């Protein structure tokens, strides 16, 4: 009778061999690769995790400025290896592509930073991650003829309301009341406010959007399809796409 038990040693030898030849890429090396890619594409507005404790960079100022739940400000909480602040759509696209290419990076997207669960600046996975901060993408373009407005994802509710009021004395938008909440996270989570009982939540008043999907494609409502368009209005939260801008229906 033949012995069917396999010898485990060849597999062990192969594993040891592969472990010795596959290069290990440290977080510092990954960060260097990422910053090189960003700089190559003209993106210079970013901060990386300090190498030493007395580093006087603005990293922690950028990280902590909007943290609402102070539990996530503790030193024991995982910190992003880089915080990147794109200023135009092209930079946002290249930031995403660099983060994917030079990884493995997880990506967190922060608009206003009001996530009490820390989803915009914390990860529970033990992998390096970066924060893409949308604050510089905050332009609001109001079109009174169509009674709509394009709002970049980094705009706050206060900035959105101000732009609408600055263009019209008789138009508004159904959303929340806290002026520092980011429009991206607000709509991505539904967006309840004082006018919601009559006019619906903020997500009900979105008629189009521009997003970057996992493959780095820029898609509008037609390109993403109705199922994805339905999902980002209440089920988004920056966890599976980056919404660059929302087209909202004014009241």
Provide the pLDDT for residue 17: 39
* Domain contains 146: yes
For 157, 165, 192, the CA distances from 198, given in Å and listed in that order, are: 19, 20, 11
Looking at the fold, whether 193 and 243 belong to one and the same domain comes out as yes
Considering 80, 112, 133, which residue would you say is the last residue of a domain? Answer: 133
- What is residue 91's predicted lDDT score, i.e. its pLDDT? 98
Q: Give the pLDDT confidence score for residue 23 in this predicted structure.
A: 44
Distance CA 65, CA 81 (A): 17
Looking at residue 19, its pLDDT comes to 40
Which residues of the chain carry a pLDDT beneath 70? 1-27, 52-56, 237-239
Residue 165's pLDDT is 98
> What's the pLDDT at 16?
41
pTM value is 0.86
- 179, 241: one domain: yes
Answer yes or no: is 10 within a domain. no
Total domains, the chain: 2
User: Going by C-beta distance under 8 Å and a sequence separation of 6 or more, which residues neighbour residue 61?
Assistant: none
Instruction: For residues 125 and 169, state if they share a domain.
Output: no
Q: What is the CATH number of the domain that holds 39?
A: 3.30.43.10
So what's the pLDDT on residue 53? 58
Pick the last residue of a domain from 80, 113, 133.
133
Looking at residue 173, what is its pLDDT? 98
**Given 133, 153, 182, which residue is the final one in a domain?**
133
The answer as to whether 11 is a domain residue is no
Instruction: Tell me which H or E stretch contains 142.
Output: strand 140-143
Calculate ∠ Cα 220-213-87, nearest 5°: 80
DSSP H helices, 134-241, are 157-167, 183-188, 196-199, 221-224, 226-235
What is d(CA 149, CA 160) in angstroms, rounded to the nearest whole number?
Answer: 9
Q: Tell me: do 156 and 240 sit in the same domain.
A: yes
DSSP state of 244: E
What domain range is 216 assigned to? 140-249
Closest to 88 (Cα-Cα) out of 42, 30, 26? 42
């Amino acid at each position: 009778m033949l012995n069917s038990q396999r010898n485990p040693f060849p597999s062990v030898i192969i594993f040891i061999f592969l472990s010795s030849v596959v290069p290990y890429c440290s977080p510092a090396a990954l960060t260097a690769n990422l910053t090189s890619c960003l700089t190559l594409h003209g993106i210079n507005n970013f901060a990386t995790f300090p190498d030493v404790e007395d580093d006087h960079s603005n990293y922690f100022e950028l990280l902590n400025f909007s943290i609402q739940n102070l539990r996530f400000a503790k030193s024991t909480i995982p910190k992003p290896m880089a915080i990147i602040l794109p200023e135009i759509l092209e930079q946002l696209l290249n930031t995403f592509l660099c983060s994917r290419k030079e990884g493995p990076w997880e990506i967190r997207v922060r608009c206003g930073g009001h996530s009490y669960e820390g989803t915009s600046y914390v990860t529970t996975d033990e992998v390096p991650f970066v924060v893409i901060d949308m604050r510089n993408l905050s332009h609001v373009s109001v079109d009174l003829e169509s009674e709509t407005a394009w709002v970049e994802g980094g705009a706050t509710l206060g900035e959105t309301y101000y732009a609408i009021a600055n263009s019209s004395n008789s138009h508004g938008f159904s959303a929340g009341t806290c002026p520092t909440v980011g429009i991206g996270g607000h709509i991505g989570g539904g967006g309840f406010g004082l006018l919601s009982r009559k006019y619906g939540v903020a997500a009900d008043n979105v008629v189009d959007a521009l997003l970057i999907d996992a493959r780095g494609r820029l898609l509008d409502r037609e390109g993403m399809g109705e199922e994805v368009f339905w999902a980002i209005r209440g089920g988004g939260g920056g966890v599976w796409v980056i919404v660059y801008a929302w087209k909202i229906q004014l009241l």
